[in-house]
Every structure is written in C-alpha cells, then in structure tokens.
Structure 1
Amino acid sequence: MIRGVRGATTVELNDADEMIQSTAELLSEMIKRNNINAEQVAHVFISVTNDLDATFPAKALRTFSDWTYVPVMCMQEIPVTNALSKCIRVMMSVNTDLSQKEVEHVYLREAVKLRPDLSLTNKEQ
C-alpha cells in the first residue's frame, strides 16, 4: 500500500546551509521513525514558504546513500495570510505495510504548530 508520510520544519534564516541541514534532519527522522528505505519510495515532494529561496531543500536528500534514484521535486507553498513562515514541508509517498494510524508524521521546531494532533505525545495517549 502506498502511504503518505508527512513532515515539516522551520529555519531561522533564508540560508542555504541551514535549509539543507534542517531538511536533512527532518528527512532522517521521517525515515527512522517509519523504517523507510529508498526502494520503498515512489517520490518526495518538498515545499517551502515564499520567504525561502536560498537553495533547493531537495539537495539534502541527495546526501543520503542509496537515495540517488528517488524522484524529488521542490515547489513553493501558496502564500496564505498569517501562515507559518520559513517553513519546509515534505510529502513522501512510501510503499509500506503500516496503516495510516501507524505512520509517524514528523513536525520539528515551530512546525509542531501545524499538526499538534499528530505529535508523538498525543499518539502515545
């Protein structure tokens, strides 16, 4: 079954190094928590808010061994008034036996505000 694994994080600055590092941290957590390997992944979409244009955050995934052939696309989020700024979001389509409830979506830093209902603390209750 193909499942969507979601994640998001924020950065302090519109800085290429910080964007790559934060995206790599987010992707690593998504992969670890859901026991994902590259061969299971159909594609990865990464979006950024319009205040982030220093680099393509997909470059972070290219530093992971065995992820060379996973299709990745970057795009810009729609600019919604009062939305969380400096935010990087990921949607990974994964072939997995996990049920939708078992998938662990990952929200780091200020992005926790996006889906507090899916935080690990709430899932454990």
Structure 2
Amino acid sequence: MEIKRDRMVHLGYAKYWRSDQIVGLLPIEEDRGPGRRTEVFVASRSEPVTASRSEASILRDMASLPDEARVAEAGSIAEDLVGALRDLSPVLKRMLKNEEGFDVEYWAGRLRRVMESDDDGQEDLFG
C-alpha cells in the first residue's frame, strides 16, 4: 500500500492532517465511543490526535486515489455505522426491534455484506 503524499486526511469533527505526516494509528480500546475511535500519531506532535474515525477508514483515505475519495468516505461511514450498531446493548437492540421494527442485526449484516462485496453492490442495496 502506497501512502499518497500531501493529501489532507479527515480525522472527524473538523480535524484534518496531511497523509505523509501521519506515522501511526492506534485503535482506542478503553473509553471508545463517539468522537473517540483512534489515536493518530503525527510527526510534528508528541501527543496523538484523537480521531472519531476508525483506523481502517483513515488508512484507506491515506492510500486511496483522489477520484475515490467520496466512495472511500461512504465506506468509512458505513464501517463506523456497523461499529456503532455492534456496540449497542442487547437490551436496546431488542427494544428497537420489538417497539420500532428496526432490526439492528439485519441492517449491520446488510451493511457488512455491501462493504465486503467485490462488485458494485447494487443488487444488495435494492434486493
């Protein structure tokens, strides 16, 4: 994987950093939540920058082609959404399904299948 130089990488919540200045990505395990997904280590700072995006989505943006930026961002959003859905408590998942008819597991699975698809995923989106 080749990191594209001089590309501004979105870290979330109006935070951007140059791709060639990012030297490390570390997923946050404890106290992870909205606004706290990844620690981003950059060459010019001694302390990491806290990003609201996952390390995989940041790395993908660092290496993707400019033409693919919107597709990469959509993939990043879907990945973050799957993570948020996965982190919901079982009680809340049951409540959403029983009270509102929203099946969290169904939608998380559907998003995962679309993200893993080798084709354009159009059949999965509308099937």
Give the TM-score band, short-chain normalised.
under 0.3
**Rg: which structure is higher?**
2
Higher RCO (CA 8 Å, separation ≥ 6 residues): 1
Q: TM-score, normalised by structure 1?
A: 0.25
* Larger strand share, 1 or 2: 1
Q: TM-score, normalised by structure 2?
A: 0.25
